[in-house]
C-alpha cells in the first residue's frame, strides 16, 4: 500500500485541473466479522432505512445527512437529479442529526412519515427549507406540504423502538467509518466526505460499477 | 488506483478497510482550491483549534484558530458547568452568512473569541462549524479544568463566597413590600419557639407578676404589647444601625459594660420582686427602678426597656432572616425596607409572647400568699438571668459558685432549714422538699466550683474526666480569633474542604448546635476529613468585625462551607439554628 501524492492522483484520475475528493473503499468480507464490526451490508442495506430512487438499483448511494446542514440541503437537488437520470441507483438517506434538537425533531417526523406513506414528501419538504429550523418551522413546512405533524409524530412514537434503533445505528456507523460530518456519501464501497456536485456523483457511480 | 490504510477504527477493521481513490471534481468552491489536502475535511480538532487564556480575575478567554476555508457558527458556541447549567459567553458579532439556502447565520472565519466569566469547577465548552462548501461537523466539546482560585464572587483573601440571592430580594420580586413584611412576620413566628426567644418568656412573666393585684387581662395584653413592640423596634433599630455603621448592633452590644448593666437591672428587678429587702436607694432611683416592672407609674416604660434590651442583649440571636435583612441593607443601602422587614421579624417573634402574656394573666393567682411566692420565684429567675448573662464574661467556676449561692439561698429562703410543725400540710412539705433539693444541688455545685468545674448541669464532670478534660466527645475545631489566624488555618489543609463556624460564648443557638449537631455521630463522620475552623467572636472587637466582613457573616452562628479551592458553594451557608441533616448535606455539596 502506498500513500498517494497529489501528482500521481491527478495522473490517475486524469481530471486535470479539477481538484478531487478522496474516496475510500470498504472491503469487508461480509458478515465474517464479529457482531460489533461493521460491514458494507450494514451500511448499504439497513433493513429499517427507507430507500429512495430505484430500490432494485445495482448501485447504492448512502448519504449521512442532517436537515439543518446547509451543504446537505444545497446538495440535495443535484443528488436527486443524478439518481433519477441514472435510473439504476438506490438512494439511502441516513439521518445523522448533528445540529441539535430541531434536527432530531425533523428526523423523527420524517421517519414517522414512512408508515403513513409520506416519507419522500416529508424529506423533500424539509430539505427544501431554508437555513436553521425550529420545531414550529418544521411543523409549518410539513403542514404546508399537506402532512399532519401530529399524525407523523404518532406514527414515529408507535414505532419508536425501530426508529431510535436506526438512528443509533446510523450514529454508530458514522463513528466507525470515521465520518467527520455531514454530508458524507458512501457510493458503492467508497466514502466521499462533503458536498458532491453532479460530475463528482456521476464519476463515483461509474467508479462503483467497475 | 492506489490503496492506503484507512484508520477508521482501532481494531481488526483497520486491516479490512482499504482505500480506493476516486477522483472527483468537488463542489465549485472546492474546485477553486488547487490544494488537494484542503479538500479532504480536516479532523475537527485541526479545523478548529481551541486555546484558553486565564485572566487574574478568573475570566477565561476562549480563542479558536480556524483553518482556512472553515468557519464556526456564533450561535453554536456554548459552555456549561459540571451540573449542566449553561454559562453565558460574550461573543463579538460574526460575519453574516446570507445564502438563500442557509438563511442568515453569523459565522467566524480564521479566528473566533469568546469571553467566559469566572466559573466554579470544570466547564465544558462546545463549538460547531463547517468546511466551507464541504462538510458540517458534529458539535465538538472539550472540558476545561477548574481555574485555581476561581469563584462566582470576587476573590478576597483566598476565600470566595457564594453570592446567593437574599431573602428580601426574593420576596420583593414575588410580591413587593407587603410580601417582604408578611414573609418576615412569618419567619419571626417560626423563630418564636427557638432558644433565642425562650428567655423572653420568664422576663415577660416577671413583668406581669410584678403587677400584683392590679393585673387584669387588658393590662396584661397592654404590657405584653408594649414589650413586644419594644422588642420589634429593637430589631428595626438593628437595621438602622447596620446601615449607619455597617455592624450588627447585637454583637457590638455584647460588651462587658452592656452585659453587666443588664445583669444589674435584673438583680435590682429581682430585689424589688422579693420585697423582702428594703431597697434603700434615693427616691428618684427607686421610682426609676421599680418602674421597670413593679409599680404602677411608668410600668409601660419598664416593659418597653426590658423588651428593647431583651432583643439586643439578653437573647442576641443571629438567624437566617436577620442575616438576610442586614446583608440586604449593607448591599443596597435600602434602610426602610430592611428595617421594616426586621421590625416585622421582631413582631412575629413576639406574637406568641403576646398571646401568652394575655392569656397567662388568667392563670396567675389573684392574691394572697401565693402571689408573693410566685413573685419571689420570678425574683429568683431574674437573679438566675443575671448570672446567666455575666456567665458570658466570667470564668466558669465563678459562675458555678454563683449558681450554688443562688440555689442555696433560694433553698434557705424557701424554708429548707426551717422546722416544719407536725401539722404542716402537703403544700408546705412539698415546698420544703424542693427547698432542700435546691440546697443540695447548690451544695454540689459549690463542690464543683471548688474543683474548677464550669458546667452548671454537670458540676462534677471534672471528677469523671480527670483534670479539665473535654466533657464529651466533641468535634475538634481549630479556634481562631484574628483574621491572620483564620488565614493560617485555611491555608493549613489545602486539599481538604473547610467548614468555618462563627461562634461565641454568648450565642445561645451555638450551645444548641454544640449539643445537637456536633455531637451527632453522622455529622462527626461527615466532617472527618474536613478542615474545621471555629471563628470565635466572644470578645468582639475590630478583629471580630474584620473576620465577619471577610465571611460576609452577620454574627454567630454562621457556617460557611468551602470546597478544596476555597470557594463557597451556593446555597450551602447555614445561619442560625440548624440540624445534623442540613450540615451533612452542606458538607456533601463541597466535597
pLDDT tops 60 at residue B143:
yes
pLDDT category of residue B528 using cuts at 50, 70 and 90:
confident
pLDDT at A118: 92
Helix, coil or strand: residue A58:
coil
**Helix (H), strand (E), coil (C) string for B452-475:** CCCCCCCCCHHHHHCCCCCCCCCC
Who has greater pLDDT, B560 or B367?
B560
Q: A195 — contact with chain B (CB < 8 Å)?
A: yes
Distance, in Å, from the CA atom of B349 to the CA atom of B362, rounded to the nearest integer, reads 22
pLDDT category of residue B440 using cuts at 50, 70 and 90:
very high
pLDDT at A31: 36
% of chain B exceeding 70 in pLDDT: 79
Q: Do B136 and A13 touch (CB under 8 A)?
A: no
Which of A10, A14, A21 to probe the B interface (max B CBs under 10 A)? A21
pLDDT tops 90 at residue A158:
yes
Residues of B with Cβ-Cβ distance to A134 under 8 angstroms: none
**b/e sequence B457-492, b meaning 16+ C-beta within 10 Å:** eebebbeeeeeeeeeeeebebbebbbbebbeebbee
Q: Do A33 and B12 touch (CB under 8 A)?
A: yes
Q: A161 — contact with chain B (CB < 8 Å)?
A: no
Q: B224 — contact with chain A (CB < 8 Å)?
A: no
Sheet holding B48-54, edge to edge: B48-54, B60-66, B111-116, B89-90
Q: A197 — contact with chain B (CB < 8 Å)?
A: yes
Who has greater pLDDT, B280 or A59?
A59
Cβ count within 10 A of residue A169: 17
pLDDT at A72: 92
Nearest CB among A14, A15, A70 relative to B136 is that of A70
Residues of B with Cβ-Cβ distance to A2 under 8 angstroms: 2-4
Q: Do B16 and A28 touch (CB under 8 A)?
A: yes
Residues 6 or more apart whose Cβ sits within 8 Å of residue B467: none
Listed range (A22-26, B231-235, B358-362, B437-441) with the worst mean pLDDT = A22-26
Grid cell for residue A112: 414517522
Distance, in Å, from the CA atom of B138 to the CA atom of B131, rounded to the nearest integer, reads 12
Domains assigned to chain A: 42-209 (3.40.30.10)
Respond yes or no on whether the N-terminal peptide bond of residue B557 is cis (omega within 30° of 0). Answer: yes
pLDDT at B490: 83
pLDDT in tens, B248-279: 777 767 777 777 888 888 888 788 777 654 43
pLDDT at A94: 96
Distance, in Å, from the CA atom of A67 to the CA atom of A128, rounded to the nearest integer, reads 9
pLDDT tops 80 at residue B163:
no
pLDDT in tens, B290-336: 444 444 444 777 788 888 877 776 666 777 778 878 877 776 777 88
Q: How many interchain CB pairs under 8 A, A with B?
A: 207
A119-127 helix and A101-115 helix, angle to the nearest 10 degrees: 150
Q: Do B22 and A23 touch (CB under 8 A)?
A: yes
pLDDT at B557: 85
Query: For residues B108 and B64, is the Cβ–Cβ distance under 8 A?
Result: yes
Q: A209 — contact with chain B (CB < 8 Å)?
A: no
pLDDT at A49: 94
Pairing of strands A24-25, A190-193: antiparallel
For chain A, state the CA radius of gyration.
18
Residues of A with Cβ-Cβ distance to B46 under 8 angstroms: none
Query: For residues B53 and B60, is the Cβ–Cβ distance under 8 A?
Result: yes
pLDDT category of residue A40 using cuts at 50, 70 and 90:
confident
pLDDT tops 90 at residue A65:
yes
Residue A25, strand partner residues: A190
Q: CA triplet B127, A43, A13: central angle to 5 degrees?
A: 85
Closest Cα in chain A to B28:
A197
Closest CA to A50 of A159, A208, A210, A180: A159
pLDDT in tens, B389-404: 888 777 788 888 999 9
**In the block, which residue shows the cell 432583643?**
B311
Q: A19 — contact with chain B (CB < 8 Å)?
A: yes
Range B175-184 average pLDDT:
83
In the structure, how many helices (H) and strands (E) does chain A have? 9, 6
Closest CA to B357 of B238, B215, B170: B215
Q: What is the mean pLDDT of chain B?
A: 76
Q: Do B22 and A203 touch (CB under 8 A)?
A: yes
Q: Do A200 and B16 touch (CB under 8 A)?
A: no
ipTM higher than the 0.85 cut: no
Range B368-379 average pLDDT:
73
pLDDT tops 50 at residue B113:
yes
Farthest CA pair distance, chain B: 128
Task: Determine if the pTM surpasses 0.80.
Answer: no
Cβ count within 10 A of residue B90: 11
Q: φ, ψ for residue B159 (rounded to 5)?
A: -120, 130
% of chain A exceeding 90 in pLDDT: 64
Region of B133 please: left (phi>0), alpha (psi -120 to 50) or beta.
Answer: left
Query: For residues A189 and A204, is the Cβ–Cβ distance under 8 A?
Result: no
Farthest CA pair distance, chain A: 55
The residue ranges of DSSP E strands in B55-159, in sequence order, are 60-66, 70-73, 78-81, 89-90, 95-99, 103-109, 111-116, 123-127, 129-131, 140-144
Closest CA to A109 of A76, A74, A153, A75: A153
Closest CA to A68 of A108, A101, A45: A101
Tell me which H or E stretch contains A79: helix A70-86
pLDDT tops 80 at residue B410:
yes
Distance, in Å, from the CA atom of A104 to the CA atom of A68, rounded to the nearest integer, reads 10
Distance, in Å, from the CA atom of B540 to the CA atom of B504, rounded to the nearest integer, reads 9
Range B111-120 average pLDDT:
85
pLDDT category of residue B36 using cuts at 50, 70 and 90:
very low
Amino acid at each position: 500500500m502506498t500513500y498517494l501524492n497529489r501528482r500521481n492522483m491527478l495522473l490517475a484520475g486524469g481530471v486535470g485541473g479539477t481538484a478531487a475528493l478522496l474516496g475510500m473503499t470498504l472491503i469487508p468480507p461480509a458478515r465474517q466479522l464479529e457482531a460489533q464490526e461493521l460491514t458494507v451490508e450494514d451500511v448499504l442495506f439497513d433493513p429499517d432505512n427507507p430507500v429512495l430512487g430505484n430500490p432494485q438499483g445495482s448501485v447504492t448511494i448512502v448519504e449521512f445527512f442532517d436537515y439543518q446542514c446547509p451543504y446537505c440541503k444545497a446538495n440535495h437537488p443535484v443528488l436527486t437529479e443524478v439518481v433519477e437520470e441514472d435510473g439504476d441507483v438506490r438512494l439511502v438517506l441516513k439521518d445523522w442529526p448533528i445540529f441539535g434538537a430541531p434536527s432530531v425533531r425533523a428526523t423523527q417526523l420524517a421517519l414517522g412519515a414512512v408508515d403513513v406513506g409520506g416519507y419522500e414528501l416529508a424529506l423533500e419538504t424539509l430539505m427544501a427549507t431554508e437555513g436553521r429550523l425550529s420545531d414550529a418551522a418544521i411543523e409549518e413546512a410539513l403542514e404546508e406540504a399537506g402532512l399532519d405533524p401530529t399524525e407523523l409524530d404518532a406514527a414515529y412514537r408507535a414505532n419508536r423502538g425501530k426508529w431510535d434503533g436506526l438512528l443509533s445505528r446510523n450514529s454508530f456507523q458514522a463513528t466507525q467509518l470515521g465520518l467527520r460530518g455531514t454530508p458524507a456519501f458512501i457510493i458503492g464501497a467508497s466514502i466521499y466526505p462533503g458536498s458532491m456536485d453532479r460530475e463528482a456523483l456521476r464519476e463515483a457511480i461509474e467508479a462503483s460499477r467497475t | 488506483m492506489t490503496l492506503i490504510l484507512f484508520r477508521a477504527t482501532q481494531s481488526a477493521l483497520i486491516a479490512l478497510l482499504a482505500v480506493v481513490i476516486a477522483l472527483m471534481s468537488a463542489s465549485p468552491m472546492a474546485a477553486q482550491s488547487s490544494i488537494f489536502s484542503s479538500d479532504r475535511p480536516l479532523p475537527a480538532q485541526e479545523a478548529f483549534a481551541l486555546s484558553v487564556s486565564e485572566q487574574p480575575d478568573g475570566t477565561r478567554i476562549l480563542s479558536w484558530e480556524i483553518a482556512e476555508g472553515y468557519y464556526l457558527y456564533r450561535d453554536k458556541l456554548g459552555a456549561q458547568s459540571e451540573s449542566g447549567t449553561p454559562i453565558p459567553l460574550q461573543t463579538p458579532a460574526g460575519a453574516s452568512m446570507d445564502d438563500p439556502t442557509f438563511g442568515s447565520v453569523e459565522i467566524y472565519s480564521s479566528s473566533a473569541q469568546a469571553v467566559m466569566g469566572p466559573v466554579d469547577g470544570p466547564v465544558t465548552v462546545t463549538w460547531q462549524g463547517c468546511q466551507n462548501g464541504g462538510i458540517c461537523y458534529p458539535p465538538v466539546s472539550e472540558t476545561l479544568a477548574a481555574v485555581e482560585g476561581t469563584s462566582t464572587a470576587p476573590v478576597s483573601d483566598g476565600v470566595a463566597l457564594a453570592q446567593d440571592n437574599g431573602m428580601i430580594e426574593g420576596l420583593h420580586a414575588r410580591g413587593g413590600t407587603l410580601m417582604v413584611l408578611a414573609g418576615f412576620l412569618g419567619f419571626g413566628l417560626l423563630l418564636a419557639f427557638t432558644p433565642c426567644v425562650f428567655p423572653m418568656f420568664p422576663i415577660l412573666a416577671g413583668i406581669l407578676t410584678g403587677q400584683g393585684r392590679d393585673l387584669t387581662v387588658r393590662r396584661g395584653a397592654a404590657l405584653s404589647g408594649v414589650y413586644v413592640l419594644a422588642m420589634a423596634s429593637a430589631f428595626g433599630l438593628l437595621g438602622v444601625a447596620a446601615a449607619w455603621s455597617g455592624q450588627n448592633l447585637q454583637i457590638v452590644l455584647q460588651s462587658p459594660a452592656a452585659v453587666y448593666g443588664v445583669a444589674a437591672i435584673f438583680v435590682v428587678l429581682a430585689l424589688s420582686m422579693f420585697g423582702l429587702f428594703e431597697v434603700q436607694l434615693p427616691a428618684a432611683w427607686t421610682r426609676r427602678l421599680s418602674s421597670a416592672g413593679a409599680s404602677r407609674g411608668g410600668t409601660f416604660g419598664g416593659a418597653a426597656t426590658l423588651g428593647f434590651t431583651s432583643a439586643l442583649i439578653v437573647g442576641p440571636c443571629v438567624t437566617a432572616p436577620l442575616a438576610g435583612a442586614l446583608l440586604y441593607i449593607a448591599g443596597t443601602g435600602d434602610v426602610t425596607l430592611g428595617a421594616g422587614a426586621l421590625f416585622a421579624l421582631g413582631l412575629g417573634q413576639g406574637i406568641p409572647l403576646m398571646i401568652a402574656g394575655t392569656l397567662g394573666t388568667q392563670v396567675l393567682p389573684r392574691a394572697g400568699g401565693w402571689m408573693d411566692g410566685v413573685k419571689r420565684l420570678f425574683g429568683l429567675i431574674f437573679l438566675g438571668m443575671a448570672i446567666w448573662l455575666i456567665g458570658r464574661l466570667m470564668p466558669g467556676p465563678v459562675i458555678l459558685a454563683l449558681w450554688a449561692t443562688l440555689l442555696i439561698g433560694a433553698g434557705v429562703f424557701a424554708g429548707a432549714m426551717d422546722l416544719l410543725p407536725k401539722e404542716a400540710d402537703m403544700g408546705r412539705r412539698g415546698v420544703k422538699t424542693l427547698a432542700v433539693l435546691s440546697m443540695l444541688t447548690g451544695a454540689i455545685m459549690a463542690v464543683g466550683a471548688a474543683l474548677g468545674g464550669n458546667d452548671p448541669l454537670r458540676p462534677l464532670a471534672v471528677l469523671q474526666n480527670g483534670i479539665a478534660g473535654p466533657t464529651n466527645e466533641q468535634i475538634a475545631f481549630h479556634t481562631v480569633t484574628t483574621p491572620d489566624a483564620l488565614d493560617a488555618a485555611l491555608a493549613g489543609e489545602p486539599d481538604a474542604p473547610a467548614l468555618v463556624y462563627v461562634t461565641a460564648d454568648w450565642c445561645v443557638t451555638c450551645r444548641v448546635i454544640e449539643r445537637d449537631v456536633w455531637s451527632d455521630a453522622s455529622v462527626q463522620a461527615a466532617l472527618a476529613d474536613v478542615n474545621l475552623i471555629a471563628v470565635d467572636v466572644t470578645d468582639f472587637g475590630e478583629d471580630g468585625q474584620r473576620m465577619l466582613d471577610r465571611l460576609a457573616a452577620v454574627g454567630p452562628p454562621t457556617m460557611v462551607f468551602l470546597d478544596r479551592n476555597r470557594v463557597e458553594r451556593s446555597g450551602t451557608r447555614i445561619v442560625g439554628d440548624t440540624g445534623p441533616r442540613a450540615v451533612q448535606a452542606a458538607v456533601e455539596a463541597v466535597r
